[in-house]
Structure 1
Amino acid sequence: MSVVDRPAPLVATLRRPHRSPPTHARTHHRTAPHRTAREKTMDYAHPLTLGLQIPAGPGQPDLTLALLAEEAGLDVVVTPASQDGGLDGWTALSWVAGVTSRVSVSPSGIDATTGPATVLGRATASLDLLSGGRVDLTLTSQDEDATALEETVDVVRGMWATGADGPLTYSGEHHVVPGTPRGPAPAHAVTIWVAGASTAALEVAGRTGDGWSVRWDEIDPSDLAAASAAVDRAALAAGRDPREVRRRIVLPAAPVVGHPGWTSPEDDAAADTVLALRGLVVGLGFSTLLVETDDPAMVSRVAQTVAPALRAAVSAARAESGIVPGLVRPSRTRAQRHPGIRYDDLPETLVEIAVEPGDAGYGDVRSTYMRGGSPGLVLRPRTVPEVVDALAFARSHDVPLAVRSGGHGISGRSTNRGGIVLDLGRLDQTEVLDHESRRVRLGPGARWGAVARELAPLGWAISSGDYGGVGVGGLATSGGIGYLVREHGLTIDHVRAVEMVLADGQVVRASDTENTDLFWAVRGAGHSVGIVTSFELEADEVGEIGFAQLVFDATDTAEVLEAYGAVVEASPRDLTAFLVMGRPQPGQPPLAQIMAVVGSPDPEVIVDRLEPLARIAPLLQQSVRLTTYDQVVALPAPGPHQGQGEPVTRSALADHITPELARAAAALVRSGQSYFFQIRSVGGAVADVPADATAYAHRDAGFSLVAFGASRDRLDARWDAMTEHFSGLYTNFETDQRPERLLDAYPTATLARLREIKHRYDPTGVFRDNFALGTQEAAASRT
């Protein structure tokens, strides 16, 4: 049964004065105490949003009103539902989402009893991702039974729960899901509005909805408070805080005959309208008000005259009562919070960028490329001030702290379990600062494939590893051994300045002339001294290049490795070659694959450089092409990292591939304890930089080695037996945090200087979860 049976115009509510909240009450969106049901219908402290409901009716709806609403400054556009002979509702919503860029968009109502809920969940999340996080969902049902509505909400949320284990299964009366892959997760916390004045709608809105929506012609104005109280009772019965449920009402443009509607604020009648609308917000708790009209003049009038006056009136009323607007985290999210993190102390500046374990998008940010994580909180700042606030919040907790740029890091330390992650992925700008000097500014969250794509039309490139999905931040603070390294040096050798946030929250610039000690440390150990929020780098002129993929029979593995090393060392600098081997397969000869770049557009030069490599062993396959650097390190398909387990990798630098090292490496490969073994050539231009010029001091090393394994103990045993052949360590590829690794990574003089800088800028060891610089930090980072 409906709460009321007679639709009525809203004039009674608009004309009736409303009692303001008591002046002694102070409502905060996370910490306010429970109040009585009557008090709770006054103001739930939700942010005020105003918008347009495009009406349905005869003929086609005027969807261009959405553009007018956005240009005029409204917050929300709700599109009409499907009608017989009219536009399809979801298609209309998609069109509006595509032509707008700022407003939130939502359908007026999707019938929960029709269509698979899995499809609805996937479609909503997809449109939210494509629109940049601006889509909300509204569900309706003509069935007095609440089951269909509630099941639809459950299945839709289940589709978005990409952090949950396994596929989605569900068995209900209306929806049965035998097992389907989850995802995608939406770009933002999508509000699921439950629309209607029926008992079923009120119950579902209270029990599980994010919001309750009602039209002016569905309910008598005198019953609004009772209906809202019914939502509250359902919420409380479900163990929820009623403030979790937002309230939305759709109003007519001109409520009744004789009422002027939305007129100029100077008009006495308009002032009465603003007063009445303020009563809906602070008197009945409706924080989202939509005007239903197809009159462009009315849309402009609402946005330009009534909206500013109403916002001011609501702000004044709330300020007088001490009410701080904000949203309450859903109970389902709060139930999954980790101990040790004071979620309710999160400052206002971070609420929108925080992702908790119960949030729909958590599954997309919990893990990295190599490691499965379960952080207690992921903060995704969009600006430097937000980085400062996020670091301050993290610094006040005694839990692990991980800083992430692209999330690819082989070391796996850009996530954690139960701690806080500062995800810099949204700081992803690529900006050309000066064409003459080829200076560019990069955000730490930019991916190198995207950077290469932006620089390619200019004929520029920056050596940056071998995979386009790697983030700028991790590579440009540690080294950067890429396909152009022998000709153009390490990535850090192109860094000319950085902006960074220090452990105490200071924002500083470091370069050859500013904070020179920090600038020295950032290039090789940046992970230990601060958070770099932007890099200035000098790109190289790089035109067409040769790229080869060669596959060899590596039956005599030691001979192949030794020959590869000798050829690389004897080659001109314009050749950089990486060798990869996997675990031997039964009944098959061991294979070695070489990826090589020749920095020349001349086919004869390319062939001349590659021929010595092609003769190191029986050649089984070959592919050589003339291409550009952005094609070699192309950006992978978009999508979150879904790493699982704990990475086990060991890293080393070596001056040469000696016969002894080749035999030891061959034994490691034959043992099967490493499923991925790689040797990267370094040398060349890397050695042109003095060893003491940066914190990356192993300038004489000709090769970088890394091995991936499934068993830490077994891989360690093999790798430790090879240490006599090594001359250093590359931190980005190393998961072993035993204290002796520090001297492998940093020679004695370098480590002493780093520790002195660390003591000055991070004396309490805020940044210790990556590659700790001291014994105490190392112990703390392992706990």
Structure 2
Amino acid sequence: MKMDIGVVLDASSPAGTTRDATALARLAEKRGLDLVVIAGNEAAGQPAGLDVWTAAAWLAGATSRIGIGVAVAAPSSPDPTDPEAPYPSVVTKAQGSLDIMAEGRIISDPAGWVVAPRDAKPEELATLAGAGLPVVVPVDSSEDIERLAALVAGPDGGSAARRRPAAARARRLPTIDYDGLPASLAETAIEPGDPGYRAVSATYLRGGAPGVVLRPRTPAEASDAVEFARRHRHLPLGIRSAGHGISGRSTNQGGLVIDVSAMNTIEVLDPDRRLVRIGPGATWKQIAAALTPYGWALGSGDYGGVGVGGLATAAGIGLLSRSHGLTIDHLRSVDLVLADGRQVRASRDDNPELFWAVRGAGANFGIATSFEFEVDEVGEVGWAQLVLLSTDIEESLRRYGEFASTAPRDTTVFLVTGQPRQGVSSIQLYAVVDSPDPDTVVERLTPFLELGTLTRQHVVMTPYSGVMSNAADIGPDGHQGFGEPHSRSAFLPALTADFARDAAAMLRSGAVYFFELRAMGGAIADPPPDEASFTHRAPAFQLTAMAGNNQRLNAVWEPLRPHFDGLYLSFETDLNPKRLLDAFPAPVLERLRDLKRRYDPDNLFRDNFNIDPKLTTPTAKEAIA
């Protein structure tokens, strides 16, 4: 018979010793049962025998597969006068710790199983199993377990084929049709309670608890994932390549995530044209390492762990941009899965309007399954990481703006700082000089030493892969982000003295812990603004500010807005629809809305600065009002 059967061990009984409980749990696992529930005497507050959480941890360590249920109701407000009253925070911590140690095996909600009478007959157990939950029977002997094991044994005496483990199914959400997963995705999908779920639930900066993570390996499987998402239109939908996005919703609470990290191939298509095909899940560290033997590079951001998918559909403002342009400037075609599941190619010749849209607003139009780029010949570059201390951050910002914006286009310098400490600001400079000549590198960097007192320097000649190697590889534990990042982004036409004054005041407020200025200009400004849906070619700088409190961030950010002209969506977390007009001028946004109505009329791809096809685009004056 095909049902999940488990046992209940009474931790409060005189026989509830560690030796007895361990032996029975191990026997239940050996005989193919699905769940061991540790029950205490809730009416008495604290069990007279074993503490259920301690017993659950012990049994989890003594077994390897079987699910462990903890039958204790969650405590309400603690009673400080009762020394035996459990505290919610302590219970929650115990539950979380046990879930980490025995990932995918713990059920802490008593609603996750059905208790049958001790002497229940097979017919009665089958009826109770009809609810789709494991049925557990109180036992106190090995004979009881052998009787239950006979009910789940197959014709050959082994355990019958079963569905996902009981502990995993207990965490399924009623809003998701788990049993309706396409066959192509069922094997690799990860649900809450599965081993490995913790590794895919969070991203680099954001915590999450998605209802299911789908992991397509091919464009056809990506189409299947989109079809499943269309059947769950009521849920949030996140698209993830490597999970580093600040603005993107590549995780969520209770929704779907389509994770394309397995689509990470890097292939040279035409050495003469320097044409390469790259999967969306590849990281820039991996790409730089693959291109270095050819003497090539493809400009990206400033961190090698970022995935291609998000950056290459936004813009790609990086450490080679002033010398070689944005990442999207090297894009020659992109393969997409659209909202209706179709697989299409977008290029200057195929679906040119879609190709225009993807380069800047790609997250709204589909899932990229591969990119073709024409990369650059790039030899060794000067790579510098400098730390300086400044007692006048306003003057340092002003001087940085002067040096960075007037530097030759072979030089790109980013500045990072934060709240001054006792009047002293730590300034970190990240710079690439696209020249193989060390003397040129020194010449380009020397003016920046005037920003403060140099306290640390690391300057090397290296291939671009040496720049991108600053990122750690994502290990089997995945990302461990938590909470919700609060970030603001803007483009700065020029770094004026007035801006330096206002930015310094924001930093001194203590509301912002991270502040970055990325130098633009040079090759970024070469293409015409209408080349792609990303139109911000003229600004001198892109800036980002991050804070721990969104309300405080808004308060210190608003006074700076008169200095800005637009924003870069990759680093913005404010989902106010008005931000769309900052990212896309009104004519561009309306053109994008028209395309959205054609390619995604039901607005499936909506969880990343949604270009809603049902809305009309207000004028800039209306948006301000």
Are positions 1:426 and 2:257 aligned together? no
Aligned partner of residue 201 in structure 2, secondary structure = coil
Give the C-alpha shift of residue 281 in structure 1.
11
Conservation of the 8 A alpha-carbon contact between 2:597 and 2:613: no
> One-letter code of the match for 1:452?
A
Q: Determine if contact 1:371/1:412 at 8 Å carries over to the other structure.
A: no
- Rounded Cα–Cα distance in structure 1 between residues aligned with 2:131 and 2:63: 19
The answer to whether the 8 A contact 1:374-1:416 is kept is: yes
1:499 maps to 335
Aligned partners of 1:431 and 1:775: how far apart in 2?
36
Does the 8 Å contact 1:673/1:714 carry over to 2?
Answer: yes
Task: Show CA shifts across 1:34-79 (max 9, x none).
Answer: xxxxxx2xx889xxxxxxxxxxxxxxxxxxxxxxxxxxxxxxxxxx
Q: CA deviation at 1:622?
A: 2.2
Is the aligned partner of 1:561 residue 2:397?
Answer: yes
| CA RMSD across the alignment | 4.0
Closer, same or farther: CA 597–178 of 1 in aligned 2, 3 Å: closer
Q: Does 1:540 align with 2:376?
A: yes
Residue 737 of structure 1 aligns to a residue whose secondary structure is coil
Alignment partner of 1:636 is 2:435: no
Deviates more, 1:622-631 or 1:533-542: 622-631
- 1-structure distance, mates of 2:502, 2:355: 38
**Residue in structure 2 matched with residue 440 of structure 1 by the alignment:** 276
Query: In the alignment, which residue of structure 2 is the partner of 1:680?
Result: 518
Partner deviation per Cα, 1:521-572 (whole Å, 9 max, x = no partner): 1110000111111001111111111111222222211211111111112111
Deviation string, structure 1 residues 451-492 (Cα, Å, up to 9, x no partner): 111111111111111111101100000011111010011111
Instruction: Describe the shift of the 1:392–1:621 C-alpha distance in structure 2 as closer, same or farther (beyond 3 A).
Output: same
In structure 1, what is the Cα distance between the partners aligned to 2:614 and 2:366?
18
SS at match of 2:441: helix
Quick one: distance in 1 between partners of 2:547 and 2:56? 49
TM-aligned CA distance change 1:167 to 1:349, over 3 Å: farther
Q: Distance in 1 between matches of 2:283 and 2:132?
A: 43
**Does residue 694 of structure 1 match 2:523?**
no
Distance in structure 2 (CA, Å) of the matches to 1:156 and 1:370 = 34
In 2, distance between residues paired with 1:713 and 1:146? 45
1:612 aligns with 2:452: no
Question: Does the aligned pair in 2 maintain the 1:755–1:774 contact within 8 Å?
Answer: yes
Match of 2:556 among 685, 696, 718: 718
Q: How far, CA to CA, are the matches of 2:102 and 2:540 in structure 1? A: 44
Which of 765, 768, 771 pairs up with 2:603? Answer: 765
The letter for the 2-side match of 1:362 is Y
Are residues 180 and 357 of structure 1, via their aligned partners in 2, closer, same or farther at CA, if it must alter by over 3 Å?
closer
Could you state the TM-score of these two structures normalised by the residue count of structure 2? 0.76
What do the CA deviations read for 1:54-109 (whole angstroms, capped 9, x no partner)?
xxxxxxxxxxxxxxxxxxxxxxxxxxxxxxxxxxxxxxxxxxxxxxxxxxxxxxxx
In structure 1, distance between residues paired with 2:189 and 2:243: 17
Partner residue in 2 for 1:344: 179
Contact 1:167 1:181 in 2 (8 A): no
**Aligned residue in 1 for 2:360:** 524
Query: Contact 2:379/2:463 (CA < 8 Å) preserved in 1?
Result: yes
- Aligned residue for 1:355, secondary structure, equals coil
Cα separation, partners in 2 of 1:456 and 1:168, compared to 1, 3 Å: farther
- Larger mean CA deviation between 767-776 and 365-374 belongs to 767-776
Letter in 1 for 2:165: P
Q: How does 1:507-522 map to 2 (within 5 A)?
A: 507-522=343-358
2:167 equivalent in structure 1: 332
In structure 2, give the amino acid aligned to 1:399.
L
- Say if 1:685 and 1:239 are closer, same or farther in 2 by CA, change over 3 A: closer
Q: In structure 2, do the counterparts of structure 1 residues 541 and 287 end up closer, same or farther at CA, with 3 Å as the change threshold?
A: farther
Determine the structure 1 residue equivalent to 2:42: none
- Matched residue, 1:49: none
Report the Cα distance in structure 2 between the residues aligned to 1:417 and 1:369, rounded to whole angstroms. Answer: 16
Supply the AA of the counterpart residue of 1:425: S
**Offset, 1:777:** 7.9
Q: Does 1:624 align with 2:459?
A: yes
- Work out the CA distance in 2 between the residues paired with 1:609 and 1:411: 33
How far apart are the structure 1 equivalents of 2:603 and 2:221? 21
- Contact 2:380-2:436 at 8 Å conserved across structures: yes
Offset from partner CA, 1:331-382 (integer Å, 9 cap, x none): 2222212242222222322211221111121111111111111111111111
- Does residue 402 of structure 1 match 2:206? no
For 2:591, which of 753, 776, 780 is the aligned residue? 753
Q: Which amino acid aligns with 1:332?
A: A
Aligned to 2:11: none
Q: Which amino acid aligns with 2:427?
A: A
The Cα shift of 1:690 comes to 0.8
Q: Give yes or no for contact 2:485–2:573 (8 Å, CA) kept in 1.
A: yes
Give the SS at the match of 2:531. coil
d(CA) in 1 for partners of 2:609 and 2:387? 35
Question: Which SS does the other structure have where 2:542 is aligned?
Answer: strand
Contact 1:377 1:421 in 2 (8 A): yes
Counterpart Cα distance in 2 of 1:152 and 1:568: 61
Contact 2:392 2:424 in 1 (8 A): no
Matched, 1:579 2:415: yes
Give how far 1:711 is off: 1.2
Q: CA deviation at 1:669?
A: 0.8
- Give the match for residue 451 of structure 1: 287
Does the CA contact (< 8 Å) of 1:424 and 1:444 recur in 2? yes
Q: CA deviation at 1:501?
A: 0.3
SS of residue in 1 equivalent to 2:575? coil
Equivalent residues in 2 for 1:55-454 (5 A)? 152-153=59-60, 182=100, 240-241=133-134, 283-284=155-156, 328-397=163-232, 398-454=234-290
Identify the residue that residue 509 of structure 2 maps to in structure 1. 671
Distance 2:344 2:250 in 1: 23
1:551 matched to 2:551? The reply is: no
Q: Distance in 2 between matches of 1:160 and 1:629?
A: 49
Q: 1:582 to 1:170 in 2, by over 3 A?
A: closer
- The aligned amino acid for 1:360 is P
Deviations 1:233-291 (A, max 9, x none): 9x96998559xxxxxxxxxxxxxxxxxxxxxxxxxxxxxxxxxxxxx998558589xxx
Q: Partner letter of residue 536 of structure 2? A: H
- In structure 2, the CA distance between the partners of 1:329 and 1:181, relative to structure 1 (3 Å rule), is closer
CA distance in structure 1 between the aligned counterparts of 2:390 and 2:186, rounded to whole angstroms: 55
Mapped partners of 2:303, 2:481: distance in 1:
16
Judging changes above 3 Å, is the alpha-carbon distance between structure 1 residues 400 and 149 closer, same or farther for their aligned structure 2 residues? closer
Structure 1 position 618, deviation (Å): 3.0
Using the size of structure 1 for normalisation, the TM-score is 0.62
Structure 2 Cα separation of the partners of residues 627 and 181 of structure 1: 44
> What whole-Å deviation, never above 9, does each CA across 1:14-34 have from its counterpart, x for those lacking one?
xxxxxxxxxxxxxxxxxxxxx
In structure 2, which of residues 478, 484, 497 is the aligned counterpart of residue 659 of structure 1?
Answer: 497
Contact 2:248-2:607 within 8 A present in 1 as well? no
Tell me which residue corresponds to 1:730.
Answer: 568
Distance 1:561-1:386 versus aligned 2 partners, 3 A rule: same
Please name the residue that 2:141 is paired with: none
Distance 1:282 1:182 in 2: 33
Q: Counterpart of 1:668 in structure 2: which amino acid?
A: M
Residues 273-321 of structure 1 show CA distances to partners (whole Å, capped at 9, x for unaligned) of xxxxxxx998558589xxxxxxxxxxxxxxxxxxxxxxxxxxxxxxxxx
Residue in 2 that maps onto 1:29 = none
Whole-angstrom distance in 1 between the partners of 2:91 and 2:218: 36
CA distance 1:179–1:335, shift in 2 (3 Å): closer
Deviations 1:685-705 (A, max 9, x none): 111111001010001112110
Q: Is the 8 A contact 1:452 1:629 kept in 2?
A: yes
Shift of 1:156: 6.2
| Aligned residue in 2 for 1:479 | 315
The alpha-carbon deviation at position 170 of structure 1 amounts to 12
In structure 2, the CA distance between the partners of 1:437 and 1:284, relative to structure 1 (3 Å rule), is same
**Residues 399 and 370 from structure 1, CA distance in 2 versus in 1: closer, same or farther, beyond 3 angstroms?**
same
- Structure 1 residues 285 and 543, CA gap change in structure 2 (3 angstroms): farther
